[in-house]
């Protein structure tokens, strides 16, 4: 929470422009691996309990996937709402912000982004790969929700992936 407040403070002031770095494909992929590992650790016990309770036949029709996706979606939404980022994004010092204001996205944007993640997965992950080629490093889920994944620019770093932006409050 403290990290988010420190990063969001300069984003909200319109008198002082803030240099931001759009977070690219490989950093976001690494954050995704961290998040998926943590979510799998949360969901696997539920799947095992369902298997022990005799839901083996039901798992063949998708209950196992539901038992994995439901806690994953809830955990992701809670992380977006509480600290403003998932553990993977926190590990790479990145946050999700509204692309117009630079402020934390609202609940509707977060829900739209979460649903957009599913859409980005469907055609062979093309929506995620889009991050590598988009000038503002937005995937399909970011475009749909109107969000950006950014981090404060490190001092002395080359300016090739950064933008100088002043966001209105």
DSSP state of 154: P
Of the listed ranges 24-28, 109-113, 141-145, 158-162, the one predicted with least confidence? 158-162
> What's the 3-state SS for 11-68?
HHCCCCCEEEEECCHHHHHHHHHHHHHHHHHHHHHHHHHHHHCCCHHHHCCCHHHHHH
Return mean pLDDT, the chain: 76
- Ordered by start, the domain boundaries in the chain are 2-154
Mean pLDDT of 113-131: 88
Query: Which pLDDT score, from 0 to 100, does residue 121 have?
Result: 85
Query: Which pLDDT score, from 0 to 100, does residue 11 have?
Result: 46
Rounded to two decimals, the pTM is 0.70
Query: Which pLDDT score, from 0 to 100, does residue 142 have?
Result: 95
Structure confidence by residue, pLDDT tens digits, 21-53: 999 999 999 999 998 888 888 777 777 776 777
Structure confidence by residue, pLDDT tens digits, 6-21: 544 444 444 445 578 9
Adjacent-strand bridge partners of 20: 152, 163
Contact between residue 141 and residue 120 where contact means Cβ atoms under 8 Å apart? yes
Structure confidence by residue, pLDDT tens digits, 67-99: 666 666 677 777 767 766 788 998 999 999 999
Query: Which pLDDT score, from 0 to 100, does residue 127 have?
Result: 93
């Amino acid at each position: 929470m403290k990290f988010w407040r420190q990063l969001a403070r300069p984003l909200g002031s319109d008198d002082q422009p803030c240099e931001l770095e759009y977070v690219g494909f490989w950093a976001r992929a690494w954050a995704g691996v961290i998040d998926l590992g943590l979510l799998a650790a949360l969901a696997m016990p539920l799947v095992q309990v369902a298997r022990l309770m005799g839901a083996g036949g039901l798992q063949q029709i998708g209950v196992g996937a539901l038992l994995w996706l439901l806690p994953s979606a809830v955990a992701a939404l809670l992380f977006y709402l509480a600290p403003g980022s998932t553990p993977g994004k926190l590990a790479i010092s990145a946050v999700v912000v509204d692309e117009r204001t630079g402020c934390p996205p609202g609940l509707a944007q977060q829900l739209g982004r979460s649903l957009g993640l599913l859409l980005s997965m469907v055609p062979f992950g093309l929506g995620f790969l889009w991050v590598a080629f988009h000038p503002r490093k937005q995937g399909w889920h970011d475009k749909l929700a109107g969000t950006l994944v950014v981090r404060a620019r490190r001092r002395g770093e080359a300016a090739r992936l950064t933008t100088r932006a002043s966001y209105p409050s």
